[in-house]
């Protein structure tokens, strides 16, 4: 393996600095595989066990927080760390290279001694939550008001982006792509703003605000769902409370006084016809998928947490999440719930060709909230309720799985599941490629990375041919 490490150490702290060491002993989200990596890495010709399917030509991207500079353990929140982007390049059955680069928000550029990148906005907030293709260009994205950062093929930050001046306000960390229309749909929110925006981004990367949704409080809304006719809007009791955050960078907390609800908005943005449903007392980061049943009901599958940011105000650690199905009875105005699985899975993915449509399989990574831990991946049959488990072994913990359909596949699970997996034995990470059909069988391939990929949030597979 030929490894070229680009050293871009923070001028104020390194991975081995006393400040970082002290922080990692005090806060779970700064220790173990949450601990920050403070340098960028480039490595070529990576070792592979097994065989990489030759049709996998492209890049497996992901992003997560990895703070550079001094960290105040008492005020640190996992969602606020500097964004570190990772990419594994596969081609012709080879693992050509791995790169990691910081998304250059203003604070990251200053800490790393780099020039600030151009573009609109002040760029002050870290961009650390998702990385995906928008308008044919790769963007790192985050919610709550910050603008996306456009990245080049080597992950270098190009510019802050408002999609050519078409984006009103900030964007979201979790847009959803409609495979039929090619549109990205999103719900955006900003601290201090009493309404949500329903935003649509077309295939060319032009944004349009289709609706302003007034809320009785200022909720945190990470994700969105969609069907052929509707947008699913979450309005749950995690709200903007800066008065409760004198020492915290993240001013969103549980709010017992706020009634949870879920809204159905027509995709044309007609707010006057919006329907609201009372929801269970809970918090949902992620909508797995949504679709319209033959009865006219709207089915919404979610990962439901019992609460959020009440006891643990530094990360999502309020009990075990469950996979649940919410059926929204449009005629009766009622929401009913059925628990599909209680293993404790998070970061759900599906075959994106079935977004907004009836589907059968979802994939999650283990997240056992009370223990702030991770582990195996799960394949959920949401029709039968059956769950398969792929355990990577002791000391191994998967991040978000990404499903890639096999070339020419017609069956929903005919494809590959690709995961960044922390390997405690090496104190480094692997990329593991599984057969989604032979889910419990041995991996098709394991690519050994030279460094850790810290626990983070989201990413995507960007094929060379789309």
Q: Tens digit of pLDDT for each residue in 120-167?
A: 998 889 999 999 999 999 999 999 999 999 999 999 999 999 999 999
Percentage of the chain modeled with pLDDT above 70: 92
Task: Please give the average per-residue pLDDT across 426-442, as a whole number.
Answer: 98
Choose among 124, 105, 122: nearest CA to 114.
105
pLDDT-based confidence at 229, cuts 50/70/90? very high
Greater pLDDT, 446 or 2: 446
| Cα 43 from Cα 96, distance rounded (Å) | 8
Report the mean per-residue pLDDT for the chain: 92
Query: CB count, 10 Å around CB of 8?
Result: 17
Specify the pLDDT at position 6: 43
Instruction: Quote the pLDDT of residue 248.
Output: 61
Contacts of 336 (CB under 8 A, 6+ apart): 326, 327, 329
pLDDT tier, 19 (very low <50, low <70, confident <90, very high otherwise): very low
Structural tokens at position 377: 């991946």
Tally of structural domains, the chain? 1
> What is the structure's pLDDT at 422?
96
Closest CA to 32 of 336, 395, 307, 465: 395
Reported confidence tier of residue 371, pLDDT bands at 50, 70, 90: low
Give the three-state DSSP class for 25: helix
State the pLDDT at residue 461.
Answer: 98
Give yes or no for residue 17 having a pLDDT over 70: no
Domain of 161, in residue numbers: 2-463
pLDDT band at 27 (very low <50, low <70, confident <90, very high): confident
Beta strands in 40-148 (DSSP E): 41-44, 48-50, 58-65, 83-91, 94-102, 130-134, 137-141
pLDDT at 15: 30
Any idea what the CATH number is for the domain that residue 388 is in?
A: 2.130.10.10
Position 9 pLDDT exceeds 80: no
Q: Which pair of structure tokens corresponds to residue 64?
A: 């997560």
Residue closest to 66 by CA, chosen among 116, 10, 124, 115: 10
**For residue 287, pLDDT beyond 70:** yes
Nearest to 364 by CA among 344, 381, 378, 343: 378
Beta carbons of 122 and 160 less than 8 angstroms apart: no
* 62, β-bridge pairs: 86, 459
The three-class DSSP label of residue 46 is coil
25 pLDDT above the threshold of 80: no
CA–CA distance, 170 with 149 (Å, rounded to integer): 12
pTM for the predicted model, two decimal places: 0.93
């Amino acid at each position: 393996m030929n490894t070229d490490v680009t050293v871009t150490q923070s001028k104020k702290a390194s991975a081995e600095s006393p400040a970082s060491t002290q922080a990692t002993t005090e806060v779970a989200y700064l220790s173990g595989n949450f601990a920050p990596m403070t340098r960028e890495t480039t490595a070529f010709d990576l070792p592979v066990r097994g065989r990489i399917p030759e049709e996998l030509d492209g890049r497996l991207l992901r992003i997560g927080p990895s703070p550079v500079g001094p960290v105040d353990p008492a005020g640190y929140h996992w969602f606020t760390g500097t964004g570190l982007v990772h990419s594994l390049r596969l081609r012709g059955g080879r693992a050509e290279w791995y790169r990691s680069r910081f998304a250059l928000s203003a604070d990251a550029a200053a800490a790393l001694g780099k020039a600030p990148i151009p573009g609109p906005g002040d760029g002050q907030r870290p961009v650390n939550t998702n990385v995906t293709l928008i308008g044919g260009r790769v963007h790192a994205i985050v919610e709550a008001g910050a603008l996306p950062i456009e990245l080049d093929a080597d992950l270098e930050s190009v510019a802050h982006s408002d999609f050519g001046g078409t984006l009103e306000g900030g964007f979201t960390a979790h847009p959803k792509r409609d495979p039929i229309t090619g549109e990205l749909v999103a719900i955006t929110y900003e601290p201090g703003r009493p309404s949500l925006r329903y935003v649509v981004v077309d295939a060319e990367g032009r944004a349009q605000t289709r609706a302003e949704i007034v809320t009785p409080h200022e909720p945190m809304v990470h994700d969105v769902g969609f069907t052929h006719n509707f947008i699913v809007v979450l309005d749950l009791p995690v709200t903007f409370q800066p008065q409760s955050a004198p020492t915290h960078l993240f001013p969103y907390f549980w709010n017992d006084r706020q009634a949870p609800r879920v809204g159905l908005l027509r995709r044309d943005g007609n707010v006057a016809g919006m329907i609201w449903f009372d929801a269970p007392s809970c918090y949902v980061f992620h909508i797995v998928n949504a679709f319209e049943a033959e009865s006219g009901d709207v089915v919404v599958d979610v990962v439901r947490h019992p609460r959020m940011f009440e006891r643990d105000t530094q990360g999502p650690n309020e009990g075990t999440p469950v996979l649940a199905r919410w059926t929204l009875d449009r005629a009766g105005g009622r929401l009913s719930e059925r628990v599909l699985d209680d293993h404790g899975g998070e970061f759900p993915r599906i075959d994106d060709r079935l977004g907004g449509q009836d589907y059968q399989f979802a994939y999650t990574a283990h997240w056992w909230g009370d223990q702030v831990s991770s582990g195996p991946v799960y394949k959920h049959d949401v029709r039968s309720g059956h769950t398969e488990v792929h355990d990577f072994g002791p000391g191994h913990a998967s991040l978000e799985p990404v499903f890639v359909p096999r070339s020419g596949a017609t069956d929903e699970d005919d494809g590959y599941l690709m995961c960044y997996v922390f390997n405690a034995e090496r104190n480094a990470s692997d990329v593991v490629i599984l057969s989604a059909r032979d889910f419990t069988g041995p991996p098709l391939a394991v690519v050994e990375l030279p460094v850790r990929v810290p626990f983070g949030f989201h990413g995507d597979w960007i094929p060379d041919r789309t």
